Structure 1
Amino acid sequence: MRGSILIFAVCAALAAFTAACNVRSGNQTDESQVQDLLVHEITADMKGNLLPFWKKSSVDHDDPRQGFFGRIAHDGTGIGDAKKYNVLFARYLWTWSAAYRVLGDTESRRLSDRAFNYISEHFIDHEHGGMHWTLNADGSLADPSKITYGQSFAIYAFSEYYRATKDDESLRLAIDIYQLLEEKARDREYGGYLEGFSADWQYNEEKGLAEGRIKSMNTHLHLLEAYTNLYRVWPDSQLRESLEHLMDIFFDHIVDTSRYHQDLFFGRDWTVDGRYDSYGHDIEFSWLFYEAAEVLGDTDLLERVTSLSIEIAGKQLSAGLNHQGAMIYEKTGEDLYRRNISWWVQAEAVVGFLYAWKISGDPDFLGAAAGVWEYIKEHMIDYRHGGWHPDLDEHGTPVPGRLKGDEWTCPYHNVRMGLEVYERFWKPLQ
């Protein structure tokens, strides 16, 4: 299977590169050709590489609790004694649920059921509510903290499982966690959400993902994503207010329109604490923000969001790509960059640039998406062991020792890329 993918990728590379160059030069006649090629190649990688890799490598068949591995070696071998993490397991559930919903893949349905059952039994805190942060390898409790970032992925995953299966318990869990966040985490004085809590939801400033600050862009971005998905299946008026509030937070505090980047960390009153340009988060925001406005169905809001999303995507196109067409990680200061190439950043770049092309009509965005995909094929797909290399140095060489799966490395970003491309761009062609 992997050999055939390699042959397919190599044969397609020159044609795609030529077409992408034509698009960047303004040759409109090539846009449909490039779109068609991207859609078919990305879908082939999702169906023939990514999903098979994760189906084979993530499932712990020796676990009597019917779980998944918390870590996966670079060759796809599961690491049985690794801890299990809120974010990883919620992303497993989202991935299998979305794959079943979009592709009708029966094995993904089975795996989504397995993930839902495991999370419901072992991760959910049936006393205080919410999802525990970390379990030991045997499913016992390691860290009972409630981290807003992690709760957002629980909502995202339970909502997707409900979209795929219409399981009422999953919708109830998503709503329960949403209501807990509104009660415990929402900052009614300054707006936005606090990030870290004890097991019984007592605020703890030292927890969370704000790296010593009070609030972070990243947590609010994934709350936006989660609330959007929940609103699809539960269009509640209070949830709508919460989602609109989140969008206002981005407009008013997180997005710096003088730079068309997001600020990353803040004090409680939204004072910016350190300024970095995170190209992957910015391009991811550009399409998730558009998606949220689209789901809300407010014409005026969508018009405003469309303009901002195009500007954000344009800035990442001009500032975030290296000479090989890949998106670098971030700018940390004046002329200081982290130039490593991360799997998730490339996946979000493909989706973000494709969205920007569709809503703007600017062929440069399509060319950028094609360029990033070319880089993925050339450097990031692991044709030997399957899946993608998670991290490359600036020269495109895999970083030694990186795991294929861990608390942050998972199928969510690149499988979602495939599903977005399939659902947004393949189905309309049929």
Structure 2
Amino acid sequence: MNWQIFKKDVEAELHKNILNYWMKHMRHMNGGVYGEISNDNIPDAESPTGLVMTSRFLWTYSEAYRMTERPEYLEFASELYNILISTLTDPDYGGFYWLVDREGKPVDDKKVLYGQAFALYGLSTYQMVNPSVETEKLCSRIFAYLEQYGRDRDKGGYYEACNRDWSYGGVNNLGADDMACEKSMNTNLHMLEAYTRYYLQSRREDVREALVSLIRIITDKIYDRSTGHQKLYFSKDWTPAGDVESYGHDVETSWLLWEALQILGDENLQVEYRETVLRLLDVSSAKATAPDGSLYNEKHDGHLDRTRIWWVQAEYAVSLLNSWEMTGIEDYLHKLEKLWDYIVNVQTDRKNGEWFWGINDDGSVMNREKGGMWKTPYHNGRACMELLHRIEKQEKINV
């Protein structure tokens, strides 16, 4: 691996093709972002504003400023912060709405824990780059809501959703393609992600306790040691449902789990879960890496979905480099080089900018929006920032 060349490529992808794209094409004239944008860069001014989308943008540009100190990134992050506070906040019960229309009226007022977690993820990162008493109090309140109403103190883990008043919300599905359930891998994974960042920012002991508890839930209840994959959908007592292998989520969990363990700084926990971290990547990589180096999407009900989804490639790249850092095994770097070649030559839209939502197995582009409620600069922007952080570590080692 030529780290110098790789670094230049990743920097160009991050700043010119990803972060610049969203500020240029998705930024709303009244602040924040449009709710959706097409593949040919036409924004939809009438589409609603989602909590996940807004929080992911807030995290991305806060983290980009934390990494580079470029003032334009902090300026955009501050716009997104203001939209989150002024438009998505529930003034009566606290927390945030899941979805509002362009006038700020709730379209879906449920307290979906996945969304609340992303709000905490974005806000705690914004607090790191633009600290204020108000933001710190808001982070503390969100954490308190999640712990009081969202955490299952009996069976462990976190529920899918609460009603607007934070009463138990029963089954919920995040999207049309998801199974309605009481608990899910996806929600608990992103709770882990949010709590990792909030612990890094706050160093609170109660956040640390909750984070360790999440690690135990993911490795004991969600991760299936017999297959090396995670189960996706569960009842309240962790009875699994459905038959899905989500390769993108497995590789994403691999590096996010290791990140949490490193930030906790507990060497005994790192030793305990090191094998799980590596196996989550290795099993999916062996089973689902395409001949072109990309990663297939998933397997459901015995059917292999060979589409190449943007976020799956982004998380695969980070996980490969993370596993190389952990082991020194060169095969991880070889796979990363091949994957990166696929990303820049196929997954990236060289005509209009950013990455395509997905590529079909025959190489054609999937007919999906360029950006919207789910597709933001969070996955691929974060992947590039993670790659750069790790490349810079190698540069220091090799000086």
Q: TM-score, normalised by structure 2?
A: 0.95
Partner of 1:320: 288
Q: Give the residue type in structure 2 aligned to 1:182.
A: E
Partner of 1:8: none
Given that 2:172 and 2:181 are in contact with CA atoms closer than 8 Å, whether structure 1 keeps it comes out as no
1:243-295 C-alpha deviation (Å, 9 max, x unpaired): 01100101211111121111111111111112311000000000000000001
Higher relative contact order (CA 8 A, sep 6+): 1
1:8-34 C-alpha deviation (Å, 9 max, x unpaired): xxxxxxxxxxxxxxxxxxxxxxx4x2x
CA distance in 1, matches of 2:288, 2:8: 26
CA shift at 1:67, angstroms?
Answer: 2.9
- Identity among equivalent positions (%) equals 33
CA distance in 1, matches of 2:247, 2:136: 33
Partner of 2:365: 398
CA shift at 1:171, angstroms?
Answer: 2.2
Given that 1:393 and 1:399 are in contact with CA atoms closer than 8 Å, whether structure 2 keeps it comes out as yes
CA shift at 1:142, angstroms?
Answer: 1.8
CA shift at 1:117, angstroms?
Answer: 0.9
List aligned pairs for 1:1-400, cutoff 5 A. 31=1, 33=2, 35-61=3-29, 63=30, 66-209=31-174, 211-334=179-302, 336-400=303-367
CA distance in 2, matches of 1:365, 1:236: 35
**Secondary structure, aligned partner of 2:165:** coil
**Secondary structure, aligned partner of 1:67:** coil
Q: Give the residue type in structure 1 aligned to 2:342.
A: Y
CA distance in 2, matches of 1:75, 1:169: 39
1:40-69 C-alpha deviation (Å, 9 max, x unpaired): 2122111111111011112111x3xx2310
CA shift at 1:428, angstroms?
Answer: 4.8
CA distance in 2, matches of 1:142, 1:67: 18
Given that 1:53 and 1:76 are in contact with CA atoms closer than 8 Å, whether structure 2 keeps it comes out as no
CA shift at 1:141, angstroms?
Answer: 2.2
Partner of 1:415: 381
CA distance in 2, matches of 1:136, 1:49: 29
CA distance in 2, matches of 1:39, 1:52: 18
Residue among 390, 395, 398 paired with 1:429? 395
Q: Give the residue type in structure 2 aligned to 1:137.
A: R
Given that 1:91 and 1:153 are in contact with CA atoms closer than 8 Å, whether structure 2 keeps it comes out as yes
CA distance in 2, matches of 1:133, 1:367: 41
Higher mean C-alpha deviation, range 42-51 or range 201-210: 201-210
CA shift at 1:427, angstroms?
Answer: 5.5
Given that 1:310 and 1:360 are in contact with CA atoms closer than 8 Å, whether structure 2 keeps it comes out as no
CA shift at 1:163, angstroms?
Answer: 1.4
Q: Give the residue type in structure 1 aligned to 2:222.
A: I
Given that 1:162 and 1:168 are in contact with CA atoms closer than 8 Å, whether structure 2 keeps it comes out as no
1:313-352 C-alpha deviation (Å, 9 max, x unpaired): 1112211211111101001133x11111100000000001
Point out where structure 2 has 5 or more consecutive residues left out of the alignment.
none
Q: Give the residue type in structure 2 aligned to 1:398.
A: V
CA distance in 2, matches of 1:68, 1:216: 29
CA distance in 1, matches of 2:90, 2:179: 25
Given that 2:160 and 2:171 are in contact with CA atoms closer than 8 Å, whether structure 1 keeps it comes out as no
1:163-202 C-alpha deviation (Å, 9 max, x unpaired): 1222332222122111101100111111111111221112
Q: Give the residue type in structure 2 aligned to 1:178.
A: F
Given that 1:390 and 1:404 are in contact with CA atoms closer than 8 Å, whether structure 2 keeps it comes out as yes
CA distance in 1, matches of 2:151, 2:262: 24
CA distance in 2, matches of 1:214, 1:128: 22
CA distance in 1, matches of 2:391, 2:379: 17
CA shift at 1:154, angstroms?
Answer: 0.4
**Secondary structure, aligned partner of 1:331:** strand
1:373-412 C-alpha deviation (Å, 9 max, x unpaired): 1111121111111111111101221112x11111111110
CA distance in 2, matches of 1:427, 1:355: 12
Count of paired positions: 393
Q: CA RMSD in A?
A: 1.4
Q: TM-score, normalised by structure 1?
A: 0.89
Higher mean C-alpha deviation, range 407-416 or range 272-281: 272-281
**Secondary structure, aligned partner of 1:239:** helix
CA shift at 1:296, angstroms?
Answer: 0.5
Point out where structure 1 has 5 or more consecutive residues left out of the alignment.
1-30
